[in-house]
């Protein structure tokens, strides 16, 4: 038997854009903002405190505050414009997730490549009753696909779907 690797025309490839993607829970946006504001309050406090020390030239905290302000504006745009893009979809053979405004990412993970699936909930997520679904494939330590901002029922349904598609039953017993 000889090896063949035939060309497939692009027009014959399946189009996953036709999948109706589900949006992430809107309350996840509040959690993102809470995290961002907490970090930036801390980051802004450092250069502001430098104004109270005589040995620090005034231009240093001004430059640092300007850079932090620019980063905060960019992060704000990413949150507001990027949040509606955060969506996931479930198909017969794979799961799709997309996110990002400035840096758009679209990930498709086939079920037959998934080795482990878990649902996580951190302390802040618990306040908002939100969960994360993590899908692990070979060679990844942090999760190949992480879908944050899911309600408990959706996270459990997705986990069940993935486990159903990835579980191999040994029928020889």
Each domain of the chain, given as residue ranges in start order, spans 27-82, 86-166
Pick the CATH number of 86-166 from 2.60.40, 2.30.29, 3.30.160, 3.40.1280: 2.30.29
**Distance separating alpha carbons of residues 169 and 146, to the nearest angstrom:** 26
The pLDDT score that the predictor gives to residue 141 is: 56
pTM: 0.80
Q: Which residues lie closer than 8 Å to 25 by C-beta, 6 or more apart?
A: 130, 149, 150, 151
pLDDT at 55: 84
At a CB cut-off of 8 Å and minimum separation 6, what does 165 contact? Answer: 93, 111, 112, 114
Residue 170: what pLDDT?
Answer: 46
Q: What is the pLDDT of residue 58?
A: 87
The rounded average pLDDT for each run of 10 residues, N- to C-terminus, in the chain (173 residues) is: 85 75 95 96 90 84 94 97 95 92 92 91 95 86 82 96 74 49
Count, residues in the chain: 173
Count of alpha carbons within 13 angstroms of residue 119, beta-carbon side: 20
Q: What is the pLDDT of residue 56?
A: 83
pLDDT at 125: 95
Q: How far apart, in whole angstroms, are the C-alpha atoms of residue 129 and residue 122?
A: 10
| Location of structure tokens 């996931």 | 88
């Amino acid at each position: 038997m000889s090896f063949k690797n035939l060309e497939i025309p692009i027009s014959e490839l399946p189009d996953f854009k036709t999948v109706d993607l589900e949006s992430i829970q809107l309350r996840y946006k509040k959690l993102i903002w809470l995290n961002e504001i907490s970090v930036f309050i801390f980051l802004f406090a450092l250069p502001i405190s430098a104004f109270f020390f005589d040995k620090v030239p005034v231009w240093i905290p001004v430059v640092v505050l300007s850079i932090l302000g620019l980063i905060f504006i960019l992060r704000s745009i990413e949150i507001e414009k990027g949040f509606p893009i955060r969506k996931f979809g479930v198909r017969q053979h794979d799961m799709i997730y997309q996110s990002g405004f400035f840096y758009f990412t679209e990930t498709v993970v086939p079920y037959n490549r998934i080795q482990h699936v878990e649902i996580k909930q951190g302390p802040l997520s618990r306040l908002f009753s939100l969960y994360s679904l993590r899908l692990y494939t070979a060679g990844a330590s942090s999760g190949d696909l992480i879908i944050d901002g899911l309600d408990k029922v959706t996270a459990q349904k997705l986990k069940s779907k993935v486990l159903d598609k990835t579980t191999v039953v040994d029928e020889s017993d």
